[in-house]
Chains A and B, each alone.
Chain A
Amino acid sequence: MRLSYPNNVKIIQVPCTGRVDIIHLLRAVEDGADGVYVAGCLEGECHFINGNIKTRKKVEYVKKVLEEIGMEPERVEMFNLSSAMGLRFAEIAREMTEKIRSLGPSPVKKNKAA
């Protein structure tokens, strides 16, 4: 479809969002990512029954952790869309990028000016 989306989004492919664990999300934040989001299949359409639903709970956990330590929980999100929804994918990438931009760079980054 040759849709364009912000090039600051780095995609990591996983076989199912169920493979994404709390530690993966935290490591991304720890390593300085300004935001992390998980794009899972539509709810009810997981090939592995409920991988996406389980991961939503993990995402919620990470959001809670960030809030507890005084960071914006909005830096971590979960979205549900099917592989046929290319337009939506690009839209989410833009939405998320805009949201993170408005939050500013992650406070975890050593050099805030960068």
Chain B
Amino acid sequence: MIIADRKPLEEILEMIQGSKKILILGCKGCVTVCNVGGVKEVEVLAATLKIARKKEQNDLEIHQKTIERQCDPEYIDQVKDVVGQYDAVLSMACGVGPQFLSEAYPEQKFFPAVNTEFMGGAVTHGIWEERCAGCGTCVIHLFDGMCPIARCSKSLLHGPCGGSAAGKCEIDPDVVCIWDMIVKKKMAQGRLDDLLEIRPFKDWRTARDGGPRKSIREELT
């Protein structure tokens, strides 16, 4: 799923500085699962912003709503009766949300309340880790189920680099050296030969480097 984190409150407060009436719009997709932009988090943000503004004797009216997804026009439609009446709408969805909303309702101002971080999963409750960089050409099978593009700090196709120490990456002792894991698994399973080939240059055209991407499935259009 897409992992996000709430923006610093100071930044959010600045976005809505001149606003008297706002809507906080949650999303029941990824951001609900990663506990950052669902019903509950919308409630917490609303209470927090109210406290902050009351403290300044500058009351703020906040409406709350959480829709199925903010990345599908049919759900975006569900807010058509309410948008327009707010000074600002804070979207708690990933970066797709405020954009789909802005496209659908050009007259309304939408602001992102979260920073969209990465594609990953929960390794334990409350901790998420990146697993996919969305490069557009999956190579996981070549590396025994581990992606060096997303998980090696240098996206090396021939690791580990000289900074790998005791299974950790040189950038941070809390970051696993994925190449250490790949090599150890290959060696343990007697498939070292897989690593002894020089891989061709990666074709980055399918990644963001090739420009904004689009996926078209004719059978569905």
CB atoms of A and B under 8 A apart anywhere in the complex?
yes
Q: Judging by beta carbons under 8 Å apart, are A30 and B9 in contact?
A: no
Point out the residues of chain A lying under 8 angstroms from B57, CB to CB.
Answer: 110
Given the complex of chains A and B, what is the CA–CA distance between A21 and B8 in angstroms? 21
B48, CB-defined interface residue at 8 Å: yes
With A108-B54, A110-B57 as given contacts, are A26 and B47 in contact (CB-CB < 8 Å)? yes
A71 at the binding interface (Cβ < 8 Å): yes
Any chain A CB within 8 A of the CB of B44?
yes
Are A71 and B9 in contact, CB atoms less than 8 angstroms apart? no
Q: Is B51 an interface residue (CB 8 A)?
A: yes
Question: What A residues does B43 contact at CB under 8 A?
Answer: 23
Task: Provide the B51-81 mask, 1 if CB < 8 A to any CB of A, else 0.
Answer: 1101101000000000000000000000000
Asked whether B187 is an interface residue with its Cβ less than 8 Å from the other chain, the reply is no
Interface residues on A, range: 10 to 19
Contact A70 B40 (CB under 8 A): no
Is A27 among interface residues, defined by CB-CB distance under 8 A? Answer: yes
B10 CB within 8 Å of chain A: yes
Chain B residues with Cβ below 8 Å from A66 are 51
Q: Does B13 contact A (CB under 8 A)?
A: yes
Residues from 62 to 85 in A contacting B, C-beta threshold 8 Å = 65-66, 68-71
B186 at interface by CB-CB < 8 Å: no
Which one of B13, B40, B50 contacts A30 once the chains associate, using CB atoms below 8 Å? B50
Are B47 and A69 in contact, with the CB atoms below 8 A?
A: no
Candidates A27, A68, A110; contact of B54 at CB < 8 Å: A110
Q: Is A22 an interface residue (CB 8 A)?
A: yes
Q: Is the CB of B40 within 8 A of A23?
A: yes
Are B44 and A30 in contact, with the CB atoms below 8 A? Answer: no
Residue ranges of A at the interface with B (Cβ–Cβ < 8 Å): 22-23, 26-27, 29-30, 65-66, 68-71, 107-108, 110
Extra pairs beyond A68-B8, A69-B48 (8, CB < 8 Å): A26-B44, A26-B47, A27-B47, A30-B54, A69-B9, A70-B52, A71-B55, A108-B51
- Which B residues have a C-beta under 8 Å from some C-beta of A? 8-10, 13, 40, 43-44, 47-48, 50-52, 54-55, 57
4 tightest Cβ-Cβ pairs between the two chains A and B: A26-B47, A69-B52, A107-B55, A68-B9
A–B Cβ pairs within 8 angstroms, 8 of them: A29-B51, A30-B51, A30-B54, A69-B13, A70-B55, A108-B54, A108-B55, A110-B54
